[in-house]
Structures are given as structure tokens and as C-alpha cells.
């Protein structure tokens, strides 16, 4: 999808969707996912505080259900994505220990046994989720008002296991949520903020869903730029863009790369790069963007220094990353 807008007199932007690889490259034969609870409950007295007018005190908060809500969020997200043929999850923890601060991973025997029982090709195991939250309130005398916030974060520790391989991949994620309110009274302020327990449920579900989004390929929106000056081919090419006449625009921009003015050459190469990227020809896009960057670096024209130079360098780096990402995406898809 593309959205076109004007950024400045000689520059137009185009928003495009880019498929980014996930953090995990699951094996091709992994069709049936099993999400496993392997956690120990977080101690009630760990990670919870109240900060009232600068005075901090620790409080107890029961987070026994955090793992279940996190796993539920993960399960729902994987189901929605449809990446695997089937998705199942185990609610009851497989961890028989009692030390929350030590990560205990499934043994090879446990992995094989559980995978066989559920007909699973790959196990995604939550080994720990740790929540921390601060409820802060502060009175501002100048405003004669109370400002309050509830800041909550999580660290989730996961491992990926395949039956019969005897090898696990580990990964850790951090997430956070934040609420802020202002009120004339302290009591009203606290009532306006979410209850700590409700916020922790939201946090756990949010962390679970984000785990899926990070692990699997996902779409991102990026801004790209077209550059125009008085050159007739650049202008005519740009006239074709709003009507999505990409080939016509490409032909005109390519003609403009042969003009004498370095500014026109650089703009034309930059524009060609965007169109090649939209066609999925990332290597060609990188070639043109690199040429535009080289021209800019060897020119003293004010149009090619400053903002253009920064933007084209950033674009080249982005395209280089996309070249690497394309290779990874082929494995993941």
C-alpha cells in the first residue's frame, strides 16, 4: 500500500509496507506449535512499589496469574497469524521447582515426551515472566493538583525446543505500559488510575501478544522520498506518481540520470531506487541509492548536502538491511 504526500517544495514522500523477518527462524518441518508453561510464580513482595511525594515503599501484590495471561495472549496471537498448521498450549506449569530467580529449562526427555503427547513439532516455552510496577503520585503546589502514574514493565524469558534434537534456543523480551492522570485530590487520582492487578493482567497479555509479533515476520510502514527540481523528466516522472503509473515514472527518472547537473542525477537515482524497492528488486534499489549517495558525497551543491545527504545515507543503510532481511525471510517463509 502506498500513500503519497508533500514533504516540502522539492520533496514528496511515499509510505510503503515492508515485510520484516521475525526474531526466530523456525524449522521448515515445524508445523504444529505447542506453547508450554514452565514458570515459577513470582513472589508477592518482589517488584511492586508506591512512590508518594518522593517517599518510596514496597508493597505486596499477587501475580500468580501473570504466566497464564501471557501464554493466553501468545496463543491467541499465533492463532490469528495462522503461521502454523495448529497451535496448542499447556496451562499447568511443567516446572516443579520453587525458585523464581533461577531459570530451569525443559530437559530433552521432557521435550520429547511432551511433544509426543501433543503431536507437536516445536515447543515454545515460557520459563519466567517477571513484572515490576511503580505507582507514583506527586503534588504540584503551583498547579494545586496531584499528578499520578502507573508504570509497569515485564521481562519474559522463552526457549524454543524441537523433539529429538537436544538443543534449545533462548530469547528474552521486555515490554512496558504506562498510565498517567491528573486530579485535584489524591483519592480521586488513585481512583482514576487502573488497579494494579488489572494493569498487570493487561501487561501480561500485551507481553504475550508481542512475543508472537516479534518472533514471526511482520509488516512495517516506512516513509520513502521522491525528489524534484526544474528538470523536465523529473517533473514529468513525478506527475505519474499520484496515478501509480510506476513504469512511466521509472522510464522518465532513468532518463534523468543521464542529465549533466549532479543534482538532477542524484535526485533521479534516488527516485529510481524507491520504484525498484516497490517492485521488490532490492538489489537494484540499493545500486541506485548508492549512486545517489556517491554523487551527493562528491558534490558541494547545497541541494545535495545537509538533509538530502542524511536521508540518502539512511536510505542506503535501510536497503542494505533489507538485502540481509530478504535472505532471512526466504528461510522463514
* pLDDT tens profile 61-76: 999 999 999 999 999 9
Predicted confidence (pLDDT) at residue 145 exceeds the cutoff of 60: yes
Residues 202 and 151 sit within 8 Å (Cβ to Cβ):
no
pLDDT score, position 167: 82
Among the listed residues 277, 283, 312, 285, the one whose alpha carbon sits nearest the alpha carbon of residue 296: 312
Among 2-11, 164-173, 235-244, 285-294, the least confident range: 2-11
Predicted confidence (pLDDT) at residue 19 exceeds the cutoff of 80: yes
Positive or negative CA dihedral for 268, 274, 275, 281?
positive
The CATH class given to the 32-216 domain equals: alpha beta
pLDDT score, position 6: 45
Positive or negative CA dihedral for 45, 46, 48, 52?
positive
DSSP letter (8 states) at residue 242: G
DSSP letter (8 states) at residue 127: E
Fold agreement (3-21+221-332, 32-216): no
Confidence bin at 143 (pLDDT 50/70/90): confident
pLDDT score, position 216: 96
pLDDT score, position 7: 45
Q: Find the mean pLDDT for residues 9-31.
A: 91
Helices (H) and strands (E) in the chain, counts: 9, 10
Please tell me the distance from the alpha carbon of residue 84 to that of residue 80, in angstroms, as a whole number.
Answer: 10
Q: Find the mean pLDDT for residues 235-256.
A: 95
Q: How is residue 195 written as a grid cell?
A: 488497579
Please tell me the distance from the alpha carbon of residue 221 to that of residue 320, in angstroms, as a whole number.
Answer: 17
pLDDT score, position 21: 96
Per-residue pLDDT reduced to its tens digit, 33-71: 999 999 999 999 999 999 998 899 999 999 999 999 999
Percentage of the chain modeled with pLDDT above 70: 97
Per-residue pLDDT reduced to its tens digit, 176-218: 999 999 999 999 999 999 999 999 999 999 999 999 999 999 9
Among 89-98, 161-170, 286-295, the least confident range: 161-170
Q: Distance from CA of residue 14 to its chain's centroid?
A: 21
Exposed, middle or buried, 192 (CB in 10 Å: 0-12/13-18/19+)?
Answer: middle
pLDDT score, position 333: 84
What does pLDDT average to over the chain? 94
Q: Find the mean pLDDT for residues 125-143.
A: 94
Helix/strand/coil for 3: strand
CA angle 124, 76, 61 (to 5 degrees): 80
Please tell me the distance from the alpha carbon of residue 316 to that of residue 329, in angstroms, as a whole number.
Answer: 19
pLDDT score, position 9: 47
Percentage of the chain modeled with pLDDT above 90: 89
**pTM here?**
0.84
Q: Where are the domains of the chain?
A: 3-21+221-332, 32-216
Among the listed residues 279, 290, 284, the one whose alpha carbon sits nearest the alpha carbon of residue 317: 290
Residues near 240 by Cβ (< 8 Å), separated by ≥ 6?
246, 248, 249, 252
Q: What is the largest CA-CA distance in the chain?
A: 74
| Cα-only R_g, the chain | 27
The architecture (CATH level 2) of 3-21+221-332 comes to: Alpha Horseshoe (1.25)
Confidence bin at 152 (pLDDT 50/70/90): very high
More confident residue, 21 or 6: 21
Please tell me the distance from the alpha carbon of residue 133 to that of residue 122, in angstroms, as a whole number.
Answer: 33
Predicted confidence (pLDDT) at residue 4 exceeds the cutoff of 70: no
Amino acid at each position: 500500500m502506498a500513500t503519497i504526500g508533500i514533504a516540502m517544495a522539492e520533496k514528496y514522500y511515499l509510505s510503503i509496507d515492508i515485510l520484516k523477518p521475525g526474531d526466530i527462524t523456525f524449522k521448515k518441518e515445524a508445523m504444529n506449535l505447542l506453547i508450554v508453561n514452565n514458570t515459577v510464580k513470582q513472589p508477592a513482595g518482589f517488584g511492586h512499589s508506591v512512590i508518594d511525594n518522593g517517599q518510596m515503599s514496597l508493597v505486596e501484590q499477587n501475580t500468580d496469574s501473570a504466566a497464564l495471561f501471557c501464554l493466553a495472549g501468545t496463543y491467541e496471537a499465533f492463532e490469528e497469524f495462522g503461521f502454523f498448521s495448529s497451535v496448542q498450549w499447556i496451562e499447568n506449569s511443567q516446572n516443579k521447582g520453587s525458585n523464581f530467580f533461577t531459570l530451569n529449562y525443559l530437559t530433552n526427555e521432557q521435550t520429547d515426551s511432551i511433544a509426543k503427547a501433543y503431536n507437536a513439532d516445536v515447543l515454545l516455552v515460557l520459563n519466567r515472566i517477571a513484572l515490576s510496577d511503580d505507582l507514583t503520585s506527586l503534588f504540584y503546589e503551583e498547579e494545586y493538583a496531584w499528578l499520578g502514574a502507573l508504570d509497569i514493565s515485564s521481562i519474559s524469558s522463552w526457549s524454543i525446543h524441537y523433539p529429538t534434537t537436544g538443543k534449545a534456543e533462548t530469547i528474552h523480551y521486555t515490554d512496558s505500559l504506562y498510565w498517567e492522570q491528573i486530579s485535584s485530590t489524591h483519592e480521586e487520582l488513585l481512583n482514576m488510575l487502573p488497579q494494579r492487578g488489572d494493569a498487570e493482567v493487561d501487561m501480561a497479555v500485551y507481553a504475550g501478544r508481542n512475543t508472537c509479533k516479534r518472533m514471526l515476520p511482520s509488516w512495517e510502514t516506512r516513509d520513502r522520498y521522491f525528489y524534484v527540481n526544474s528538470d523536465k523528466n523529473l517533473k514529468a516522472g513525478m506527475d505519474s506518481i499520484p496515478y501509480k503509473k510506476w513504469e512511466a515514472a521509472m522510464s522518465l527518472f532513468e532518463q534523468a540520470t543521464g542529465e549533466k547537473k549532479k543534482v538532477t542525477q542524484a535526485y533521479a537515482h534516488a527516485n529510481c531506487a524507491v520504484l525498484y524497492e516497490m517492485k521488490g528488486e532490492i538489489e537494484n534499489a540499493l545500486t541506485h541509492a548508492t549512486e545517489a549517495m556517491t554523487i551527493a558525497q562528491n558534490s558541494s551543491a547545497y541541494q545535495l548536502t545537509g538533509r538530502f545527504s542524511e536521508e540518502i545515507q539512511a536510505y542506503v543503510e535501510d536497503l542494505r538491511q533489507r538485502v540481509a532481511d530478504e535472505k532471512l525471510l526466504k528461510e522463514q517463509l
